Amino acid sequence: MQRFFLFCNMNKNQIINQTIQFVKDTLQGAEGGHDWFHIERVWKNAKLIAKNENADLFIVELGALLHDIADAKFYEGDESIGPKKADEFLKSLEVDEVIIQHIVDIINHISYKNSLESNSEKFHSKELDIIQDADRLDAIGAIGIARAFNYGGFKNRELYNPEIKTNLRLNKEAYKKSNAPTINHFYEKLLLLKDKMNTQTGKQIATDRHQFMEQYLKQFYNEWEGFK
Residue spans per domain, the chain:
2-225
pLDDT of residue 6: 45
Q: What is the CATH number of domain 2-225?
A: 1.10.3210.50
**Model confidence at 14: pLDDT above 50:** yes
Q: Can you spell out the DSSP letters for 95-150?
A: --HHHHHHHHHHHHH-STGGGG-TTSPP---HHHHHHHHHHHHTTSHHHHHHHHHH
**Model confidence at 4: pLDDT above 70:** no
CA distances to 34, 42, 49, 65, 108 from 69, in Å: 9, 13, 21, 8, 12
**Model confidence at 158: pLDDT above 80:** yes
pLDDT in tens, 74-87: 887 888 999 999 99
Q: Residue 213: CB partners within 8 Å, gap ≥ 6? A: 140, 141, 144, 145, 186, 190, 191
pLDDT in tens, 30-40: 999 999 999 99
Specify whether the CB–CB gap between 61 and 103 falls below 8 A. no
Residue 174 CA to residue 169 CA, distance in Å, equals 9
pLDDT of residue 116: 64
Work out the pLDDT band at 55, boundaries 50, 70, 90. Answer: very high
What's the average model confidence in pLDDT over 171-196? Answer: 88
Residue 125 CA to residue 12 CA, distance in Å, equals 21
